[in-house]
Each structure stands twice: as structure tokens, then as C-alpha cells.
Amino acid sequence: MKRHEAIKIIFEGLTNELVITTTGMISREAFSAEDRKENFYMVGSMGLVTPVALGAALSLNKKVIGIEGDGSMFLNLGSLSMVGSRKPENLITIVLDNGCYESTGGQYCISTELDLNSIAKSCGYINTAKVEFEKSLKEKFKLFLEKTGPSFLLVKVEVSRQEAVPRVKHSPEEIKERFIKEIIN
């Protein structure tokens, strides 16, 4: 499955959940799949989705979904243990794992050697799963939306750079303001 296909499946399963996406192609593909006021695009902040999603989950009663790439997750691996120690019931961490830093040129990532799903489980995530196919992603994501967490979903995806994916059209200030309005409503 390609990354943009996985993102589309995730967004098809959403209702009013808050979604925080990592910098680069994941935010761009999320923006293209479905630009929602509940989306917070982390433009220029690689490695910070899980800590930001954790803070939102601890502060709010809504389900919070953080979508990272494998490279981004490895930049802040300690955030998994922070989630495990605080155990927010409303947090889902999704890692789209293609084995490389695709947004910066496809450099090799150590996710081919280390299993992020096992690491998340050992850090204290309650629900963990690894999926490779569209049907499995649909089923697990739906299940994780219904469960109390924290939940960790590792999605294996192909290296699949899309051409001409538009950049997020909103400024960082606009992203923040519209997201805050959704939180307080």
C-alpha cells in the first residue's frame, strides 16, 4: 500500500477526531486527502507529533490521532515512553513506515532493523498492531477508534513519492487558529 492510500483510508474512518500530522509529505497528503479544521499540520516540526498529540490528549476529551513517519518517530523515540507512562485513553499514534526519510530525499531509516510496534508495546501502549494491507488498516483503525488507549498502529507502506502534491495552503498561524476554534467549540 502506498502512503497516500493509507492516509486516505485513515481519513475515511474519521468523524470529529483531532488529527496532528508530521511535517513533509504526510501533512501534504493529509491536506490533499481531506483538509479539516480538526487537522493540525506540523509544518517544519519533524519529530514532534507524538509529544504534541500527547499534550492534546491529556488536555482534551476528544480522540487525538498523531500521524508520524518512521523517520520522524525515530527523531523523538523517547516520546513513546512518555505516552506509556501517562497512558492517555484517547490517543492513537500512527506511524507510516516506508523505511526511509522520503521527504528529504529517501535516505535510509533504521525502521528496517528495529520494530517500532514492539518498542511502543514495551513503552506501555495498551493496544498495538502492525498492518501491511488496506483491509487490515481499515479494520484495525476502526477498532482502535473504539478502544481506550493509548494505541499504536504501525502501517507498513511502500516508498511512493507522489508528484505534484500541493503544499498546505494555510499559514502556521491559520492552522493554529482554526484548530483552537475546533478545540474550544
Burial class (CB in 10 A: 0-12, 13-18, 19+), 64: buried
- Cross-strand partners of 20: 40, 66
Spatial distance between the Cα atoms of 11 and 36, rounded to a whole number of angstroms: 10
Spatial distance between the Cα atoms of 102 and 139, rounded to a whole number of angstroms: 27
Answer yes or no: is pLDDT of 102 > 90.
Answer: no
Give SS3 for 114: coil
Under the banding of pLDDT at 50, 70 and 90, the label for residue 100 is low
- pLDDT confidence of residue 159: 85
Answer yes or no: is pLDDT of 181 > 70.
Answer: yes
Cell numbers 501502549: residue: 125
Q: Which residue has the higher pLDDT, 134 or 104?
A: 134
Spatial distance between the Cα atoms of 51 and 182, rounded to a whole number of angstroms: 20
**Domains (ranges, CATH) in the chain?**
3-184 (3.40.50.970)
Q: Average pLDDT of the chain?
A: 91
- pLDDT confidence of residue 107: 65
Give tens-digit pLDDT for 149-164: 899 999 999 887 767 7
Answer yes or no: is pLDDT of 112 > 90.
Answer: no
Cβ neighbour number for residue 51 with a 10 Å cutoff: 17
